[in-house]
Amino acid sequence: MAEPTPFLKKSLRVLDVIEKLVVITMIVLLVAVLLLAVSELWGLFVSGAREKVGAIATAQDFQDILQNAFGGILVVFVGLELLETMRAYFADHHVRVEVILFVAIIATGRHIIGLDVHHTEPMVFIGLATLMLALSGSYFLMKRTGKVS
């Protein structure tokens, strides 16, 4: 194979620097979003706890509060997993598929938790169950083959 030209070498270095700057920028932005999300989640928890604790009259009210709280927490976990993906990409220059699968599992679970079970079509549940089984099965197979740490 022929030796790369000086122009090609310089172009590749410039692209490498641009790639690193973009990844660093994305990491900083994601950290800022996560910090904002956690502070907002705490604020919503404190204000919502004061308002809703005395207003819980039925199990449905309690379930709605828990669904919203768990959904918010899972969104933060999705952000943390995305941050891990960015960190791994910055360090290794490759995207770890197991992290993407894990993010997808968390996001799907968060969506399922947030569903209104009384007003959702049954086919939506079948589709989400199929998606969750496919994602979980993929993660299991990757772990079983030694591709996941």
* CA torsion, ordered 57, 58, 59, 62, to nearest 10 deg: -40
Inter-axis angle of helices 59-92 and 6-52, to 10 degrees? 160
Most confident of 24-28, 49-53, 142-146: 24-28
pTM of the model: 0.68
Chain center to CA of 46: 24
Tell me the average pLDDT of the chain: 86
* Residues 81, 106 contacting (CB under 8 angstroms): yes
Q: What is the pLDDT of residue 102?
A: 86
| Of the listed ranges 47-51, 65-69, 83-87, 141-145, the one predicted with least confidence | 47-51
* Residues 111, 134 contacting (CB under 8 angstroms): no
> How many other CB atoms are found less than 10 A from the CB of residue 82?
19
Measured CA to CA in angstroms, residue 115 lies from 7, 68, 82, 142 at distances of 55, 10, 23, 29
pLDDT (mean) for 80-90: 84
* Residues 112, 146 contacting (CB under 8 angstroms): no
